[in-house]
Amino acid sequence: MKIGFIGLGNMGGPMAANLVAAGHAVTGYDITGLGPDGVTMAADAPAAAAGAQVVITMLPNGAILRQVAAEVIAAMAPGSVLLDCSTVDVASARAVAAKAASAGLGALDAPVSGGVGGAQAGTLTFMVGGPDDAFAMAAPLFAVMGQKAVHCGAAGNGQAAKICNNMILGATMIATCEAFALADKLGLDRQAMFDVVSTSSGQSWSMTSYCPAPGIGPKSPADNDYQPGFAADLMLKDLRLSQDAAEGVDADTPMGQLAATLYARFVEEEGGKGRDFSAMLPRFEKRGRSKP
């Protein structure tokens, strides 16, 4: 397939490289001018999009997506598909999809989970919103870049699934970390705590697959001095998106709201920027009982 790829950073770079390795012709654009080997770099975003059957974007936020989409939609041929894999607000995803549809394009919002490791290994999970025919056209690309693509419904539903998932993740990581810190103070050995919880009703992905306690459970960022992994800053971004969305539809999400507040404090005031999101455990270790 002829593919345009805009935003070749930590995630987009390896995703584009995997498409090249699978035999697709990828023309890329990034404001840094940098892209992986095998990607033909274009002078600007419309040049990367021109003539492509699918244009993929992997950008930092909704404002940048709206700006890039406005440029590339005009350059895309009717019937081609604009596939945004960035994590952005639901409103931006829906606005871009509507603009693309009115230009005769298919549009999909397809944020991912799996992080940089998943992007490199081609094992991402895609959560996809948009029409069936566009989903069918992008399916072979999802198969190259990921291991699973779930069609979640209409435009914006991929972003909705992503922020709901990560709202659960943020809250369960905090709950897991505060429970380890409590267990420490109660004299409960961390390995024993893991052995019980990982096979009991308190278990979650945060405990069993990404244990925040160093030396316990499978290898995780905790075993690498909390180098990300999934940075606390990105978790904060996703939690804020969840709270913006909740505000927009009048949904009551007190756990998500508190998780957003705690990650904001951690990232902006407590040195958590650039650390893995599981570094909430050393944060709790140092603290005594206080109001949240």
| Residue 59 tokens, joined | 């950008």
Closest by CA position to 36, among listed 72, 8, 67, 76: 8
Nearer to ligand NAD (CB atom), residue 51 or residue 115: 115
Nearer to ligand NAD, 124 or 137 (CB): 124
Active-site residue flag, 162: yes
Which residue's Cβ has the minimum distance to ligand NAD? 9
**C-alpha atoms less than 13 angstroms from C-alpha of 285 in its C-beta half-sphere:** 11
- Find out whether the peptide bond into 51 is cis, omega within 30 degrees of 0: no
Considering the candidates 2, 148, 162, 237, report the single residue annotated as catalytic: 162
Is the CB of 226 or the CB of 230 nearer to ligand NAD?
230
Q: In the bound complex, what is the minimum distance in angstroms from residue 22's beta carbon to ligand NAD?
A: 20
From the CB of 87, what's the least distance to ligand NAD, in Å? 4
Residue corresponding to tokens 């990232």: 267
From 123, 113, 118, select the one nearest 144 (Cα to Cα): 123
Q: How many of the other CB atoms lie within 10 Å of CB of 192?
A: 11
Least CB distance to ligand NAD at residue 39 (A):
12
Beta strands in the chain (DSSP E): 2-6, 25-29, 40-41, 54-57, 81-84, 106-109, 112-113, 124-129, 146-153
- Distance separating alpha carbons of residues 8 and 12, to the nearest angstrom: 4
**4 versus 12: smaller Cβ distance to ligand NAD:** 12
Q: Token pair of 60, please?
A: 């930092």
Beta-sheet pairing, 25-29 with 2-6? parallel
Minimum CB–partner distance for residue 177 and ligand NAD (Å): 19
Q: Which residues bind ligand NAD (CB under 6 A)?
A: 6-12, 29-32, 45, 58-60, 64, 68, 86-87, 112, 115-116, 230, 234, 237
To ligand NAD, the closest distance from the beta carbon of 189 in angstroms equals 32
Measured from the CB atom, the residue of 230 and 263 that comes closer to ligand NAD is 230
Please name the residues in contact with 137: beta carbons below 8 A apart, sequence gap of 6 or more: 53, 54, 81, 106
- Provide, rounded to whole angstroms, the least separation between the CB of residue 17 and ligand NAD: 13
User: Which of 41, 45, 84 lies closest to 65, judged by CA?
Assistant: 84
Active site amino acids: 162
